[in-house]
Amino acid sequence: MTSIDASSTPSDDRSALRANCADCFALCCTAFGFQRSTDFPIDKPAGTPCLNLADDFSCTIHESLRPRGFRGCTVFDCFGAGQLVSQELFGGTSWRERPGPSAEMFATFSVVRQLQEMSWYLVEAAERTAASDLVAHISRLRTGIQRTLDGGTSEILAYDVESLRADIRSVLIDVSEEARGGYLADTAPDDDLHPSADLAGRDLRARRLCGADLRGAILIGADLRGADLAGVDLLGADLRGARLDGADLSDTLFLTQMQLNAARGDEATLLPATLDRPGHWATASHTSSPTDGELSP
């Protein structure tokens, strides 16, 4: 397993944190369960293959997932956990070839996916901060995660993920405060731009959002068209159905591919260099209205 190299470039740091479905045994389609909802048209128990899964671990309806109601599948990102578990931790032997250890494989995937996501945030945090104490702390956290991954399935499954999450959350808040220090957000008298704010369906096009702390905010269906989101902390913010047409997200903090996949934008939306433009955006933003129910809350 490749260890983190402190001298590597930012792109190299993220290379192992990007999904490669071709090297995965469709773990996201088997390990996790889902219930009938606006994101899934059927119920599927955890630990069972999706009914659309082919023998070669590909999806038989991949090109029409959204029209068929499987929007949740198009949003998900494993941060590279799928190929790591499939090829490295389980030696390229699938749960179909050896059904016995499948429960262990699925449980390992669940934990590794969380560790990979936290690693993604730590890579960005390291790039954002100039504080030597934070740089050192981030390095220790990343080294600890890598050591756990190198320790194999037993060490991974015994790892205290919640304790690590709390530690990383504290670091990300400190980095966010440092990064947002040069911005002045437009805070209204009711101070509605704050962590965990309920901004669902809100028209935020005329608001100065630069530097706002919207960590964990509910932005479901919010209208952010044309907004400048420079320095906005979007860690864990719910962007399902949010309108991002023409918005500038190129310098947002802690934005992930999953959040973008759940939102709606267009070719004029500016994105961070590390994230990809979702394939459904062009169609969704030019053919649907804010009230058409697309990924509605």
The 10s digit of each residue's pLDDT in 146-169 is 999 999 999 999 999 999 999 999
Q: Cβ of 43: how many Cβ atoms within 10 Å? A: 10
Average per-residue pLDDT in the chain?
Answer: 90
The position carrying tokens 């961070």 is 272
Q: State whether 232 and 282 are in the same domain.
A: yes
Residues 44 and 226 sit within 8 Å (Cβ to Cβ): no
Q: State whether 106 and 144 are in the same domain.
A: yes
Q: Is residue 264 situated within a structural domain? A: yes
The 10s digit of each residue's pLDDT in 171-196 is 999 999 999 988 866 655 457 899 99
Token pair, residue 167, equals 């530690």
The position carrying tokens 């959350």 is 169
Q: State whether 31 and 130 are in the same domain.
A: yes
Among 129, 163, 179, the domain-final residue is 179
**pLDDT at 262 (0 to 100):** 97
Q: State whether 234 and 194 are in the same domain.
A: yes
3-state SS class at 7: coil
- Mean pLDDT, residues 101-106: 96
When pLDDT is cut at 50, 70 and 90, the band that residue 116 belongs to is very high
Among 146, 179, 212, the domain-final residue is 179
With a threshold of 0.75, does the pTM exceed it? Answer: yes
Residue 90's domain comprises 13-179
Q: Cβ of 74: how many Cβ atoms within 10 Å? A: 16
**pLDDT at 182 (0 to 100):** 84
- What whole-number distance in Å separates Cα of residue 38 and Cα of residue 23? 29
Q: Is residue 267 situated within a structural domain? A: yes
- Mean pLDDT, residues 256-270: 97
Residues 48 and 102 sit within 8 Å (Cβ to Cβ): no
